[in-house]
């Protein structure tokens, strides 16, 4: 299990340098967030991201996400062009040495919350969701007021996309997912890439939009659509766990033992009532993260994990869910659980040994596939690469 953090690129208010100071961190998950879904990704920009990550002696462990365009999810005529772009982006990702691609198949909205900064009694704030609040917002004029993802679209665009899904039944969305996988998985196989679908968050239909990746039956179905090891899961405890009928450790045992979990998000939530939850701190809430980590370890999972979201604590301000401090605490909790179960000391990273770090200037020409190993050698990092 490799501990990672998500980094939103050079524009992120949390720097790579600060992320690299988190003990036990092995790698970074990132993407070319500034590009529009459906456009192919330029390899040179991916190579630049890799350089920035490796200078911190971290590994570029995966892409989250190459987004799936609405045209692909809706099965519109442009989908062929968008799928070709998707495949070419995946090939570019593979060429810079990154072999994990996360994606989701949620119509219009990615994760959805009704409050991005609910104040808690201890002075921290957290993301929360209440179906009742969402229903109120919907009856008060639609999703424009929804905090978060709705801001990605203009009000007109949002209305147009919502209307485009009006006639869509869940089965149509499944057909479009099957079509997407039939094109993408062979390319993933040819490039040694593992595709990892993130479940829907929350795992039920919202705002009249279908949502299909919600439970064990759905995960089995998506894996059966393309029975290839390249077709796998990004197992998100917080997303699936919002439905108390989902037994998280049991689900992990089932899918990890088949080698189909390629990536995991490990965060907690506190279920407050039907379809109502709060993103609680990692060690506390309705989910047993210790049991989740145990299920991963016991079933031979060796891929990247991340703490996913955190609260805002100690007065930090930033992108909802993606501050530094609480994600760092969550990461350390996961590291402790993992190390207790494996009885292995976490690999020491550059900088944790006390040796001075002077990587020197890095240019596009002197950085290469061997940079990470080179840095590790130069600074006396013991043992093999962690992946
Ligand atoms: C992530 C999702 O921030 C988050 O909650 O778990 O946005 C995730 O990146 C996507 O759904 C994966 O495509
Ligand atoms: Mn997640």
Active site residue 236: yes
- Report the alpha-carbon distance of residue 107 to residue 104 in Å, rounded: 9
Q: Residue 155's pLDDT is what?
A: 81
Q: Ligand 1 pocket check: which of 33, 37, 62, 65 to mutate, most ligand atoms within 8 Å of Cβ?
A: 65
DSSP-derived 3-state class of residue 215: coil
Q: What's the predicted TM-score (pTM) here?
A: 0.90
**Nearest ligand atom owner, CA of 267:** 2
Based on the residue annotation, tell me whether 322 is a catalytic residue of this protein.
Answer: yes
Which ligand approaches the C-alpha of residue 309 most closely?
1
29 CA to centre of ligand 2 in angstroms: 12
Residue with tokens 């995946």: 90
Tokens of residue 256, six digits: 């990890």
CA of 266 to the centre of ligand 2 (A): 8
What is the rounded distance in angstroms from the CA atom of residue 58 to the CA atom of residue 54? 5
CB-based burial label for 92 (10 Å; 0-12, 13-18, 19+): buried
Among the bound ligands, name the one nearest to the CA of residue 321: 1
pLDDT at 384: 39
Name the catalytic one among 12, 236, 262, 263. Answer: 236
What are 131-181's pLDDT values in tens digits? 999 999 888 877 777 777 666 788 888 889 999 998 899 999 999 999 999
Check residue 226 and give its pLDDT.
98
Asked about 198 being catalytic, the answer comes back as: yes
C-alpha–C-alpha distance, residues 155 and 31, integer Å: 26
Q: Which residues surround ligand 2, an ion (CB under 5 A)?
A: 236, 265, 308
Residue 128 alpha carbon to ligand 2 centre in Å:
14
Separation of 251 CA from ligand 1 center, angstroms?
Answer: 19
Q: How far is the CA of 375 from the centre of ligand 2 (A)?
A: 31
pLDDT score of 376 = 40
Q: Which of 87, 102, 153, 198 is catalytic?
A: 198
- pLDDT of 347: 57
Cα 52 to middle of ligand 1, angstroms:
22
Q: Please name the CATH architecture into which domain 2-342 falls.
A: Alpha-Beta Barrel (3.20)
**What pLDDT sits at residue 345?**
61
Residues with Cβ within 8 Å of 198's Cβ and at least 6 positions away in sequence, in order, are 64, 65, 102, 103, 104, 213, 234, 236, 239, 265
State which residues of the chain have pLDDT below 50: 356, 360-387
Q: Strand 270-273's sheet: what is its strand order?
A: 115-119, 125-130, 276-278, 270-273
B/e letters for 254-284, b = 16+ CB within 10 Å, e = fewer, are bbbeeebbbbbbbbbbbbeeebbbbbbbbee
Q: Whose CA is nearest to atom 5 of ligand 1?
A: 111
**Ligand 1 atom with least separation from CA of 236:** 6
Q: What is the pLDDT of residue 181?
A: 98
Residues in contact with ligand 1 by the CB-under-6-Å rule are: 64-65, 102-104, 110-111, 198, 201, 236, 265, 308, 321
3-state secondary structure of 194: strand
Which of the following is catalytic: 86, 165, 215, 265? 265
Return the structure tokens found at 42: 């330029």
Q: Which atom of ligand 1 is nearest to the CA of 104?
A: 13
- What's residue 153's pLDDT? 80
């Amino acid at each position: 299990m490799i501990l990672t953090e998500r980094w939103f690129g050079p524009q992120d208010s949390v720097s790579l340098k600060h992320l690299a100071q988190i003990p036990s961190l092995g790698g970074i998950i990132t993407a070319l967030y500034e590009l529009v879904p459906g456009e192919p990704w330029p390899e040179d920009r991916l190579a630049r991201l890799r350089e920035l990550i490796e200078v911190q002696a971290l590994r570029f462990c995966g892409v989250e996400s190459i987004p799936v365009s609405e045209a692909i999810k809706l099965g519109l005529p442009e989908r062929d062009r968008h799928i070709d772009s998707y495949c070419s982006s995946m090939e570019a990702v593979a060429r810079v040495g990154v072999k994990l691609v996360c994606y989701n198949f949620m119509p219009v909205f990615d994760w959805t919350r009704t409050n991005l900064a609910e104040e808690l009694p201890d002075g921290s704030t957290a993301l929360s969701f209440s179906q009742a609040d969402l229903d109120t917002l919907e009856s008060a004029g639609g999703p424009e007021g929804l905090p978060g993802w709705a801001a990605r679209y203009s009000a007109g665009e949002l209305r147009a996309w919502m209307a485009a899904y009006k006639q869509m039944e869940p089965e149509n969305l499944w057909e479009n997912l099957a079509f997407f996988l039939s094109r993408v998985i062979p390319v993933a196989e040819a490039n040694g890439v593992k595709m990892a679908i993130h479940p829907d968050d929350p795992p039920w239909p919202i705002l009249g939009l279908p949502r299909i990746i919600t439970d064990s039956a759905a995960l089995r179905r998506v894996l059966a659509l393309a029975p290839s090891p390249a077709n796998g899961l990004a197992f998100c405890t917080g997303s699936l766990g919002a439905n108390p009928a989902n037994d998280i450790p049991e689900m992990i045992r089932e899918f990890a033992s088949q080698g189909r979990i390629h990536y995991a998000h490990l965060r907690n939530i506190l279920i407050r009532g039907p379809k109502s939850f709060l993103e609680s701190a990692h060690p506390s809430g309705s989910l047993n993260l210790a049991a989740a980590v145990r299920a991963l370890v016991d079933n031979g999972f060796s891929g990247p994990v991340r703490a996913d979201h955190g609260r805002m604590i100690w007065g930090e301000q930033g992108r909802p869910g993606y501050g530094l401090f609480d994600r760092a605490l969550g990461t350390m909790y996961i590291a402790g659980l993992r190390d207790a179960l494996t009885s292995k000391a976490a690999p020491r990273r550059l900088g944790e040994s006390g040796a001075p770090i002077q990587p020197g200037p890095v240019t596009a020409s002197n950085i290469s596939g061997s940079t990470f190993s080179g840095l590790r050698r130069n600074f006396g990092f013991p043992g093999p690469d962690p992946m």
